[in-house]
Structure 1
Amino acid sequence: MADFVKGLLLSILSQKCYDEYFLKYNFLDVPCFKSTLSKGLGIGIIAGSILVKVPQILKILGSKSAEGINIYGVYLELFAITANFSYSYVMNFPFSAWGEGTFLAIQTAIIAALVLHYGGNSLKAATFLAVYVGLVSTLVSGYTPKDVLWSMQAINVPIIVIAKAIQIITNYKNGSTGQLSAVTCALLFGGSIARIFTSIQETGDSIIILTYCVSTATNAALVLQLFWYWNVKTTSTKNKKKKKRT
């Protein structure tokens, strides 16, 4: 049992920090505190990412509509997520530093397919999923040059800005956030903030850190829009119901 507990702790702590905490009883070691906090946040983000976009998927399925969700924004976001986890995987960064990317990519791909499906093009949705799976397999296979992956990661910064800007502008033009999920947007915002810290601690890669800083800023803009249009959305929904009754 003791060995099992030690193994569990070592999945979060380094051997050095384990010794500091449980052999030397030095609980005030600052580097170990930062490292442990980073690992814990990383594991928490990965666990949360398994379901982070499920509310958005369920909202689309429940309403049988992807109204207000810009497909081009989803494509660009998917590219950014895919470039990030592919680059991190090939660079052998710790899984706790990027693992949520795999789950976010799966869920974002599903959202893209649903937008296409409810837009009246089921064949295009199925083709998109097949092509995406093939693309990801190629990127992580080891045959794609690292320079290509780095370049994909580097252009993530403008792509994230463009992807989120497309959705922000769509919300502004519609005067509402449509089928966007408040839960999903809030979780993505919180996760991107935490990722700035974990990226500094676990990768030290400036392009990864910059990517999450930009992601945090753009996610914040979407969260603000959700609050701004909250009552507007509610009012428009009520008006539609009144019109149906009359």
Structure 2
Amino acid sequence: MTAITRNLPWFVRDLGTAIIGEKCYETLVLNLDVDDVECLKYSLSKVLGVGIVIGGSIMKVPQLLLIVTAQSARGISLPAYVLETLAYGITLAYSYRNNFPFSTYGENLFLTIQNIIITLLIIYYPSSRLTRQESVSSKLLLATVATGATGYALAVIPPNALSALQLATLPISLFSKLPQIRQNYRARSTGQLSAFAVIAQIAGCLARLFTTAAELGDALISAGFALALILNVVLGFQMWAYWGKDIKDEREEVGKRSPPVPIAVPVAQKASNWQAEEKVEVVIPPQSPSYARSGSPQIRHPSGRKWARKVD
């Protein structure tokens, strides 16, 4: 086996060295020494980190497609996405400015960009169709300006203040999930929330807890991922509990809006119905008692005298 591993193509060798380092590459790949626990742990962390970065680059794409296809952001909390984007941005700035390896935080770059787009889409597709277009345009402009200002502030803020902000990502992460959890609970539905994104976030948090412990040992980063894992598990449980309810509600709503189906009536039945409608009920007044006794109609004269006429 060593004859094969020592003669791998140059691009495979360079890629392996770039991911796990030259020392661990030589130990694990060239010499096939799997007894080196430290290199095994470090290499697994690096491979997971690269996988998370690649997965993070497409994690929110299904959510984007759901919103654009349905032209609706129903069931997605705007405050939740604003706070989540802020937490991603702070972690990205904190990791970059502390010169952490890109494999330990790279997904935050892609998730921040995707979250910004989703936030703008939530504003662009308001839940109320009565919202005026001028109001939507002004909100989009305000959100874009706020995003740029926040990014600039995170780039120039002093390191001590940035560390404090990284500590603040714990409550930010908490409050970023609570509005979505609360909205799902009230509506008994997850709306346009993507199941793929929720499951991927759960898996990503689990992997990040391992990579952070193996490579960084930063308690702030680990605490943030632990809290995010718990809240994402709650969202995953809601996805499972309310699965399929949206389809049922849409069918019921379509059934209420659908017009009654016309029933064909035979021509003969229509004619009989018309004849029945044209019938006029004739009421015959009761006969007077005198007519009933004598058998002759009684004729009252205008002067008040009664005249009887016998009918042969």
How far off is 1:22 after superposition?
A: 3.7
- Shift, 1:63, TM fit: 1.1
- Moved beyond 6 Å, runs of 4+: none
- Per-residue CA deviations over 1:46-79 (Å, capped at 9, x if unaligned) read 1111111011111111111111111111111111
Partners of 1:177 and 1:22 in 2: CA distance: 46
- 1:100 paired to 2:107: yes
Q: Which moved more, 1:20-29 or 1:200-209?
A: 20-29
Identity value in percent: 35
Is 1:186 the equivalent of 2:199?
A: yes
TM-score under structure 1 normalisation?
A: 0.94
Give CA deviations for 1:145-182 in whole Å, capped at 9, x if unaligned.
11111111101111111110111001111111111111
Which of 34, 53, 60 is residue 46 of structure 1 equivalent to? 53
What are the residue-to-residue correspondences of 1:140-155 with 2, within 5 Å?
A: 140=155, 143-155=156-168
Structure 2 residue aligned with 1:131: 146
Match of 1:83 in 2: 90
Of 122-131 and 12-21, the range deviating more from structure 2? 122-131
Q: 1:202 aligns with which of 169, 192, 215?
A: 215
Question: Per-residue deviation at 1:103?
Answer: 0.4
Comparing 97-106 with 8-17, greater Cα deviation is found at 8-17
- Counterpart check, 1:167 vs 2:180: yes
Mapped partners of 1:169, 1:5: distance in 2: 48
CA contact (8 A) 1:60 1:66 kept: yes
The amino acid that maps onto 2:70 is S
CA RMSD of aligned residues (A): 1.5
Rounded Cα–Cα distance in structure 1 between residues aligned with 2:214 and 2:191:
37
8 Å contact from structure 1 (residues 93, 202) kept in 2: no
In 2, distance between residues paired with 1:64 and 1:227? 24
- Mean Cα deviation higher: 131-140 or 203-212: 131-140
Instruction: Please point out which of 28, 31, 36 is paired with 2:38.
Output: 31
Gaps of 5+ in 2: 1-7, 260-312
The number of residue pairs the alignment matches comes to 244
Please identify, of 159-168 and 89-98, the stretch whose mean Cα deviation from structure 2 is larger: 159-168
2:225 aligned residue: 212
Structure 1 unmatched runs, 5+: none
Between 1 and 2, higher relative CO (CA 8 Å, sep ≥ 6) is seen in: 1
Per-residue deviation, 1:207: 0.5
Range 54-63 or range 130-139, more displaced: 130-139
Q: Is the 8 A contact 1:64 1:118 kept in 2?
A: yes
Larger Rg: 2
Does the 8 Å CA contact 1:97/1:198 hold for their aligned counterparts? Answer: yes
1:116/1:124 contact within 8 Å kept:
yes
1:87–1:150 CA contact under 8 A, matched in 2: yes
* Contact residue 113 and residue 126 of structure 1 kept, 8 A: no
What's the CA shift for 1:104? 0.2
Task: Tell me which of 223, 229, 234 is aligned to 1:221.
Answer: 234
C-alpha displacement of 1:12: 1.3
